[in-house]
Structure 1
């Protein structure tokens, strides 16, 4: 087989429907993990991550963990015995939100997720590991040659991610991350494109003042509209839920009171996302919202270690359930990239996460004027699954095509 070509090593096990009753527990665990992760990410500048994508990639990795490594990973993820089945059912539900929007001529939701593993050719992967990946994640192992052609494998993985995210996530894995010691890369990708329930009129967009964290101001395109949404308030913040077409997906914008951004971010870290996503009372919003487009990159190995799963990255990592060979696998790196674009028509967002395994040798209108730093969460309405979570401190910085 030529360098760069792939073969498939999988299981005959069909994907199950998952455990629908376990969905609330999985979403609650995801909220907790999202807060923990947010608290460890850079505290300055624009940010977008997909808690869902990171959890899915780590969930696949957990299926091949054993002993103290598995215990640490379960604690960090908040995973119980029903976690994989619940995440499977949640993924099926989320993917089911895609498609034409009933009674909305021409409007359509694009929402795709995908899992894929890329493993070293010739390695014997344990049947139980492959069966669980197939049953709960719909994933198989595509075999590549990290030992002899690591750069070819990197390009192939990045091309797969770009294809699954409509080219919004490019070069997820940088040069040098993969080498001859790499044995397995577990990847999740998610892509969303959703029109607003009530689009903003482009002709109503005007440059407006946005207040920066350092006390300065900048002028940015500010959209104006009056959608029917939902408003809720908490200590030092107010949140507006802005529906996408069909009402099954929404963006919740969390606007801190002046000078309270740090306090609100700490509330997210302490587990406050469910309250912020609760929805509140329905109302017509006098909404002013900036346009923004940017992407974020993050290497999560150090963060995940500090959150409570250090053994997964060390010489004492236990991933023996992955393979019947004596490989002494550990996680070398966890890389994540997110993209978000918000304009008058709707939202486009994408993210991907790669876990790199290596040998130890891996009516009355309510004003809601978003003119200062804010947080955003893109989520399904029924469960509040945090598909994307981010912060905007300067909507005019980091614009990408």
Structure 2
């Protein structure tokens, strides 16, 4: 009779085959999982005045002025159990009542960072997986694979009365075949100032507050990730970085120099010897595209980002993972036993692993008329004289 080790080897082999079928060039190219970022802040259904047509409107943050024709959460009807994918409405029970401005900023920053990392991956034909919004509670949680997962390291094994590691989430986890793993913690501090008509840097106190929290989250994520890959590659290099798209490297260095306790914590976490060295290991606004047009990268921006990447991942000794070990690690995080879901507020879990699945889900969502709060409010004003302009083909 085959023992547990034989069963585990069989499961690993099957998972590797599934991963290579989903990502045929996994050993040579970069993949993002999910391939695009789906916002966490939901849309709610409103009515376009004078037409009788419904439209999806971005959920207003708590305390914001009410928007016409958008009922409060408590008054939204529960959708029927069976309905067309193109007409389904968000489930009122799944939509949070306390959407904050910070949630909108975080969605924007997540998209901003994701686009830049995707461009970095395209420019470097190397084996790498860029995982975003990785929830540890979704790791190896598929019931059909419970028997195989029970033999592997899991986040819940680290849980204590004070800390429940299995409830955590990592903003970004980059798995590189040559460089190991990079964990990135994203903070959107400074986004509002950066996107204003007169861009200004955020207050140093705000930056210090967010960085303090980010370091704790990085250390926690590192503990979990090291544990999860300990049986595959115990000595695998795991690096960390702060992602601060609206804070300059110069400001971050100044903030650290002015707060000795924070500087010590950041230097310890990142393995740096000074505030200047620690700041250079973080990905800041200097290395990223402009917030107002973050989807339009330039060769200069890509060059800066590539320089940061090489500096952050520099190591005196490189350990090239074998094909099987690299695919084993990838399969743990994006394979069939782990749920790779995206935010969805219709009561149905949506998994998006590949570009094809992302296109299908985006098409489903874009089939609905989507308006911003400002657009819907404008259409409700009297007199309703509105001139819409745009390039050909935009409808």
TM over 0.5: no
What range is the shorter-chain TM-score in?
under 0.3
Higher strand share: 1
TM-score (norm 1): 0.23
Higher percent of residues as helix: 2
